Amino acid sequence: MSSPNKAWVTLATNDSYSLGALVLAHSLKTVGTVYKLAILITPGVTAPMKRQIEAVFDEVKVVDVLDSKDQTHLALMCRPELGVTFTKLHCWTFTNYDKCVFLDADTLVLQNCDELFEREELSAAPDPGWPDCFNSGVFVYKPSQDTFSKLLEFARTRGSFDGGDQGLLNMFFKEWSNTDISKHLSFTYNVVWSSTYSYLPALKQFGQNMKIVHFISSSKPWLQSFNTETRLVTSTHGGSGLQELLQLWWDLFCRHVHPGLSTEMGGLAGQ
């Protein structure tokens, strides 16, 4: 059964993040989601990569915040540091769906989590760096042109305290921290993985419940070294359990993404 009114949404502004988006899409298909896959891309994504994306995602929306003559461009002129953030805000314009879940391109879905679509806007998991803030790599939202306009206006006039989408969204949806616990997703829906993350006893106790892993900052899978002969990834950032999760990402990449890329690019890509 496929559900036409709800979608997973991600974002890629260049070819590296597109690799993340492609693996993410295959992870969602592997766990058997019934929902659509949608993506925002910008002209920074090359034509061959765009073709790979079109083959996997149900809907591909090209957003060019620099060229647009609308309020987004105006907002960007006031806040040039928020370039990628403004692109991410466009996820609210997918008004052909009544509910969406946004996932950063550096996330990987390990178990089916279609139940997220039962949550209301704005549902998200705490950020380990400051748990009164949510991490904006995974969030449930309701597309709306009106909310989109309000977000742009908010960004233009108020900016973002961290220079990115997380600071902006946390100020806009500031009641998240103290109003409705049903909007607090379990950390298992956004296990933020960084080289400094270390609550090992909790990881041991709850690790098998992990549903979505989020490779923040320098733990990006596509930036690790990968041995094409042994097909093993070697992370310089170590940390318990990270290696295994990076290997899962690379296994999906080798199985589902690399074959298409190498055909497209004459056998050179991804080597």
Interface ranges with ligand UDP (CB under 6 A) = 10-14, 17, 84, 88, 104-106, 137, 216-217
Nearest to 190 by CA among 103, 112, 265, 254: 103
Q: Minimum CB separation from ligand UDP for residue 85, in Å?
A: 8
- Binding residue for Mn ion, selected from 37, 65, 82, 106, defined by CB under 5 A: 106
Q: Minimum CB separation from ligand UDP for residue 1, in Å?
A: 28
Q: Which is nearer to Mn ion, 53 or 156 (CB)?
A: 53
Q: Which is nearer to Mn ion, 133 or 156 (CB)?
A: 133
CA atoms of 207 and 223, how far apart (whole Å):
24
> Quick check: 140 and 116 in contact, CB under 8 A?
yes
Site for Mn ion in 111-140 (CB under 5 A): 137
Nearest to 189 by CA among 238, 84, 117: 117
CA atoms of 206 and 201, how far apart (whole Å):
9
CA atoms of 64 and 72, how far apart (whole Å):
9
Which one-letter amino acid corresponds to residue 154? F
Q: Minimum CB separation from ligand UDP for residue 130, in Å?
A: 13
- Binding residue for Mn ion, selected from 65, 76, 99, 104, defined by CB under 5 A: 104
State how far Cα 104 lies from the chain centre: 1
Which of ligand UDP, Mn ion, none lies near 248, with the C-beta cut-off 5 to 8 A by kind?
none
Rounded to the nearest 10 degrees, what angle do helices 15-30 and 47-56 cross at?
10
Neighbouring C-beta atoms of residue 244, cutoff 10 Å:
10
User: Which run of H or E residues covers position 182?
Assistant: none
Q: Which is nearer to Mn ion, 102 or 156 (CB)?
A: 102
Q: Minimum CB separation from ligand UDP for residue 165, in Å?
A: 7
Which of Mn ion, ligand UDP, none lies near 13, with the C-beta cut-off 5 to 8 A by kind?
ligand UDP
Which residues lie below 8 Å from residue 2, measured CB to CB, with a gap of 6+?
34, 35, 36
Which of Mn ion, ligand UDP, none lies near 133, with the C-beta cut-off 5 to 8 A by kind?
none
x/- map, 62-101, Mn ion, by CB under 5 A: ----------------------------------------
167 is an interface residue for Mn ion by CB under 5 A: no
Residues in contact with Mn ion by the rule CB under 5 A: 104, 106, 137
